[in-house]
Amino acid sequence: MVCLFFAAEEYSCEYGSLKFYALCGFGGVLSCGLTHTGVVPLDLVKCRIQVDPQKYKNIFNGFSVTIKEDGVRGLAKGWAPTFFGYSMQGLCKFGFYEVFKVLYGNLLGEENAYLWRTSLYLAASASAEFFADIALAPMEAAKVRIQTQPGYANTLRQAAPKMYAEEGVWAFYKGVVPLWMRQIPYTMMKFACFERTVEALYKYVVPKPRSECSKAEQLVVTFIAGYIAGVFCAIVSHPADSVVSVLNKEKGSSASQVLVRLGFRGVWKGLFARIIMIGTLTALQWFIYDSVKVYFKLPRPPPPEMPESLKKKLGLTE
C-alpha cells in the first residue's frame, strides 16, 4: 500500500522503524495532551450539562453559572488529569495506529491493502484505541470527579487518594468499558474519515498533486480534513460520552443502569458543545501531529494509489 523505503537524505528515519514509531508516539503526546488541556473549560461545562442538565441548561448558561460560583479559575478544574491522561492516550493512539497500520497492511499485501484501505484504517485505529483507553481511564475518572462533584476535590493530588480509599483500584478502571464504547467508535471515525477525506481533497479539491504542494499547504489540507472528521467523531461517540460522565460521578452504578436512566434524549445532552470542542480538537490534533512529522523529517506517505499490478489485473493499463 505504501512504499517502505524513503531516501536517506530526505527523511530522518525509515518508514516503519522503531524511531519512526517512537516519534509518532511523541507527536501523539503533544497533539492530544496539549489540545485536550487547552479546551478544559469547554469540557468542564459539557460534563456538567451531561450530569446536571437542570442546573446547567446549555453551553452559555453553563459558563455563566460556573464563573458565578467558582470564578474564572474554576473553569480550569481538572487540567492536570486531563493533561497526563490524554498525553498517555495520545502516545498509544497515534503510535500504535502507525504500528497496526503497517502490520495489517503487510498481512493483507499491497493489492488488498489498497482495495480494503478503509477497513484497514478502521481495524488499525480500533486496535490502537483499545490500549489507549486503558492508559486514559484512571485520569479520566479523576477528571470527571473533580469537574462534576462540588466539594469532592480540587486537584488530582486530592482526588486520587480519596478515590482509592473509597473504591480501591476499581474506581480508576470502572469506566474503561464505557470509554471503549465512546473512544473506539470515535477513533475509528477519526482516523478512517481523516484518511479518506485527505485522499478526496487532493483528488477533487486541491488543484495540484500533493507532491507539488508546499509543507504549509499540506498542513492546511490536514487541518480541514481533521475538522471534517471531528464533527463526525463527536456525533458517533456522544451517547457513550454522556454515560462515562454520569458513571464516573456516581458510586455503585453500572453503564447499563446509567444508559437506561438517561434515555434516548438524555444521552444527547451537550452535543452542540461537544461538536465545537471535538471538531476544533481533532483538527488541531491532526495539524500538530503532522507538524511534528514535518519537523522531525519523518516519512509522510502520500494518499494511496492503486498498485500497478492491480491496474494490470483490472485492465486499467495499456
Q: Domain with 257 in it: what CATH number?
A: 1.50.40.10
Question: Residue 229 falls within a domain, yes or no?
Answer: yes
Is residue 4 in a domain? no
Q: Which long-range contacts (CB under 8 A, 24 or more apart) does 250-254 make?
A: 251/166, 251/167
Q: Is residue 5 part of a domain?
A: no
Helices vs strands, H then E, count in the chain:
13, 0
Residue 40 domain-assigned (yes or no): yes
Cell triple for 70: 467558582
Q: For residues 243 and 258, is the Cβ–Cβ distance under 8 A?
A: yes
Cα 191 to Cα 109: distance, rounded to the nearest angstrom? 21
Residue 1 lies in a domain: no
The C-alpha cell 444527547 sits at 268
Rounded to the nearest 10 degrees, what angle do helices 215-249 and 255-266 cross at? 110
Residue 141 belongs to some domain of the structure: yes
| Phi, psi dihedrals of residue 153, rounded to the nearest 5° | -165, 150
**pTM above threshold 0.75:** yes
In a domain, 6, yes or no: no
For residue 143, give every residue at least 6 positions away whose Cβ sits within 8 Å of its Cβ, in sequence order, or none.
78, 81, 82, 85
Give the three cell numbers for residue 127.
486496535
Per-residue pLDDT tens, the chain, 318 aa: give them: 444 444 444 889 999 999 999 999 999 999 999 999 998 998 888 888 878 888 998 889 999 999 999 899 889 888 999 999 999 999 999 999 999 999 999 999 999 999 999 999 999 999 999 999 999 999 999 988 888 888 888 889 999 999 999 988 888 998 899 889 888 988 999 999 999 999 999 999 999 989 899 999 999 999 999 999 999 888 888 888 788 777 766 666 777 888 888 887 888 888 888 888 788 889 999 999 999 999 999 999 888 988 988 888 888 775
Residues spanned by the domain of 187: 18-300
Q: What are phi and psi of 150, to 5 degrees?
A: -55, 130
- Count how many domains the chain has: 1
Q: Is residue 7 part of a domain?
A: no
* Class of residue 264 by CB neighbours under 10 A (exposed 0-12, middle 13-18, buried 19+): exposed
**What CA–CA distance (Å, rounded) separates 198 from 218?**
10
